[in-house]
Structure 1
């Protein structure tokens, strides 16, 4: 039988508390139980005056931002509208039924006038991560590293073309020293860096500069959409907790920001021993850097570059003892010189090559000479390639899709990081850091809630069992159960409270 809903419920009058309207398993309850936001007071205390009218509680301002990022609300204006009608959000902020909600521009004004020159957001990110470390959720031996682009708030068709200086590559000074050392060893004249035509020809390049956001970079990668963007270079652990992030313009290569990112993570987590990354990080500079800091790189196979109709480079075997290459025609390519880009050049004998039946598959040079370039730090890349075949590397590399790639997917689909509403590198970096802080907080709160639920379950189940019986029953379970991550902390809790003391 069809029924009709009465609309009298709109006028219902009842006595209840705000707490009764919030579900017990709501995310805001989990977060409130997981972290005490009072740590914010000493951070921002110096930015407030002792005179004047009372301000809005800074914790409310920060919680408003977390509501926006945790639930993927598109703007602060929309967040305020949600808080006005959502009882769970009001409960989280500590507001009553009739308390007024701050204006949507309040946080923006406070950011400009108070928080812009502070380390508030970095300290919030660090504090949440520290709580996850203390809870035992973060693993610091292996990190997963990658970058993702964030679409800038700029029209890709409105730009100017300007000549800009090329950013110095990582370890450029060390590379230049190494080049000159090897040139002098071979009896050749060392280069004089930063002089002559090198500064004018190679130090400048033409780039597209956005009119709306000049600090963004024109992002070009394969068949993807060309657009102005920023890049978030991110490191996370095997559980998906973001350990640190470096934000750069979208036209900065991954390997350029990797050194800064790894140094920051290594400073906070000295026990880091492995770095898992994709092929973009498989460069001579980075593999040498990993070797210097005693970190094992876990890098993938890289497809050979060059024209398919020619013989692949792997058929040319390098002889380290004689410092030469052997071609498929069994001819030597001897060392010639070290060029300005840091490559040792090995050249064949044209008189022998012209008679070789593989000449057309080997080279198209007019003088019938094959040239192979080998980087002065190529040995580090080769060592990384050897490690790729080990069982450990084969086991760890596929986990990228479960860790850092999943972090990016969640950040873009659930937390609004696919594009940014802000202009400027500083504001986008703040937006990115708060997004990852919210994701860490969500994971931390959920996991702590799950553990607390396990504690309650076991205390409730075994409340009628004698202490001796609990001891005999629980210890074997903790040692054998696959759910030991919940049982062992409960065992520790029982011991610390005297639960196992003999009567």
Structure 2
């Protein structure tokens, strides 16, 4: 028969604890069982007065508030506080009862400015959660997957000024200059003097968020953004993260991301990256360290209708190139960028039947460049064809690309809600910490190492032990080998 729900339940007075209302398999319970947040007190104790002043909001509560925001992909702290006020599980996670007032949404922002700004608190929280995952054996750092994704900045793309900025010096510039000058000397050339003039370039700088960078990629929307560079292990745990302006090339941030990862989880056996990292320096770094580089095929940039570079064969013994017509291209010079230039004989090129497919030079000269570290790139290209590299590269979509997809889809970072590199970095470290924490908590729960599952297993184990004398011999031996 038709039944109508009455509204008396709204006014029913019940005696019940908050703990009874939160489901045993709720994510906040899993997280509470996975890690002890009291370590935060030691990280912030020098930021609080112990003797005087008004009582503060518990720093663990402050951190848990932002963890709730990023764990559940809530867009702002204002909305997070509204959710906490009405969500029983969130109140339980913070340790607040039914009626206890929740801190104002500006509380965390004020504490960040007054206490946490300029500290490494959020990086330490990220590291502590990662250490917990390593302790349980969940992190497999034998292969690292490194990549970056752009996150739109909280800035109007139409409000900007054009500025001349100094070009950033490459981190390996001194090493490159030393080796290219040595190469020039070996070829009978004079070493190049150090650059005295500063190189400048014109860039768009946002009037709203000057730390962001103008992002341009293929046909995608051009806007101000940040680049989130990260490294993950084979299971998708984020092991290091660096935030830069979006106009900083991936290869420039590689060293920082890689060094952080090695410091936290140790040196890997292999590193898988996309085409943006396929440079002579990165190839050299990895191979010199005994690490297997896993890099993809890159399309040649030769103009349509002309011979591709691989059709010019390099003769290592005579240090020259041989063109498709059999002519020898001899060494000409080594440039400041580290490229050896090889030049053809214009007398022979003038009458060559392949000239239209070889060069469009008016002087009938064909030049081919080869980096002084090109041997490392050749080795990378050789490894690309192995079954190991093919298998490892295919896993990028299950690891680092999945990390970035979850970052934007599940944790609310399609665009930043904060401005300035320091604040965005704080936001990034907290989100990546939440992603690791969520994976850690779920895995521990599935393995029965926390909460209701572990309690149920322990009671069952004790019950069976009491009944051991009644069980068959084979069953008794199996039970004795179990560990609760």
TM (normalized to structure 2)?
0.95
3-state SS of paired residue (2:341): strand
Displacement of 1:458:
8.8
For residue 269 of structure 2, the aligned residue among 237, 259, 273 is 273
1:468 & 1:75 partners in 2: Cα distance?
61
* Residue in structure 2 matched with residue 310 of structure 1 by the alignment: 306
What pairs up with 1:65-464 in 2 under 5 angstroms? Answer: 65-195=66-196, 199-200=197-198, 203-452=199-448, 453=453, 456-457=456-457, 460=460, 463=464, 464=467
Partners in 2 of 1:470 and 1:459 — Cα distance?
A: 18
The alpha-carbon deviation at position 312 of structure 1 amounts to 1.3
After superposition, the C-alpha distances for 1:466-487 in whole angstroms (9 at most, x for unaligned) are 4953464479xxxxxxxxxxxx
- 1:136/1:153 Cα in 2 relative to 1: closer, same or farther (>3 Å)? same
Q: What CA distance in whole angstroms lies between the structure 2 residues aligned with 1:222 and 1:64?
A: 39
Separation of aligned partners in 2, 1:138 and 1:456: 27
**Which runs of structure 2 are paired with 1:50-61 in the superposition (5 Å)?**
50=50, 51-61=52-62
Aligned residue number for residue 9 of structure 1: 9
Counterpart secondary structure, 2:447: helix
Give CA-to-partner distance per residue, 1:270-297, whole Å, 9 cap, x none: 3412101101111001111112222211
Given that 2:333 and 2:341 are in contact with CA atoms closer than 8 Å, whether structure 1 keeps it comes out as: yes
Aligned residues: 474
Distance in 2, Cα, partners of 1:471 & 1:135: 29
Deviations 1:257-282 (A, max 9, x none): 00111111112223412101101111
The farther-off stretch of 5-14 and 442-451 is 5-14
- SS of 1:493's partner is coil
Distance 1:274 1:455 in 2: 40
Q: Distance in 1 between matches of 2:187 and 2:260?
A: 38
* Alpha-carbon distance change, 100 to 294 in structure 1, aligned in 2, over 3 angstroms: same
Name the counterpart of 1:501. none
Deviations 1:402-436 (A, max 9, x none): 00000000010010111101111000000000000
> More deviation in 447-456 or 346-355?
447-456
CA distance in 2, matches of 1:158, 1:105: 27
SS in 2 for 1:14: coil
Give me the whole-angstrom Cα distance separating, in 1, the residues matched to 2:170 and 2:128. 33
CA shift for structure 1 position 170: 2.9
Q: Structure 1 residues 474 and 294, CA, compared in 2 at 3 Å: closer, same or farther? A: farther
How far apart in 2 are the matches of 1:328 and 1:274? Answer: 36
On the 8 A contact 2:239/2:265 being kept in 1, the answer is: no
Q: Could you tell me how far 1:454 is from its partner in structure 2?
A: 7.4
Distance 2:482 2:125 in 1: 30
Check whether the contact 1:170–1:285 (CA below 8 A) recurs between aligned residues: no
Task: Determine helix, strand or coil for the equivalent of 1:37.
Answer: coil
Structure 1: how far apart are the matches of 2:422 and 2:2? 59
Whether contact under 8 Å (2:147, 2:231) holds in the other structure is yes
Q: What is the Cα deviation at residue 5 of structure 1?
A: 2.5
Residue 275 of structure 1 aligns to a residue whose secondary structure is strand
**CA deviations over 1:162-185 (Å, ceiling 9, x no partner):** 110111123111111111111111
| TM-score (normalised: structure 1) | 0.91
| Distance in 2 (alpha carbons) for counterparts of 1:33 and 1:268 | 24
Report what 1:469 is aligned to. 474
Contact 1:220 1:227 in 2 (8 A): yes
Give the Cα separation in 2 of the matches to 1:492 and 1:391. 40
Q: Deviations over 1:57-97 (max 9, x none)?
A: 11100100100000001111111100110000000100011
Q: Residue 160 of structure 1: SS of its match in structure 2?
A: strand
Structure 2, unaligned runs of 5 or more: none
Q: Deviations over 1:116-137 (max 9, x none)?
A: 1322111110110000000110
- SS across alignment from 1:112: helix
- Structure 1 residues 309-360: Cα deviation after superposition (integer angstroms, max 9, x where no partner): 1111111111111111111111111111111221100111111112211110
C-alpha separation between the residues in 2 aligned to 1:21 and 1:10? 16
**How far apart, CA to CA, are the structure 1 residues paired with 2:403 and 2:359?**
45
Return the alpha-carbon distance in structure 2 between the equivalents of residues 295 and 275 of structure 1: 7
Query: Partners in 2 of 1:172 and 1:278 — Cα distance?
Result: 23
Q: Which moved more, 1:423-432 or 1:178-187?
A: 178-187
CA RMSD of aligned residues (A): 1.7
The answer (yes or no) to whether the contact 2:157–2:224 under 8 Å persists in 1 is yes
Shift of residue 3, structure 1, vs aligned partner: 3.7
Q: In structure 1, how many angstroms separate the alpha carbons of the residues matched to 2:46 and 2:272?
A: 41
2:483 aligned to which of 467, 478, 493? 493
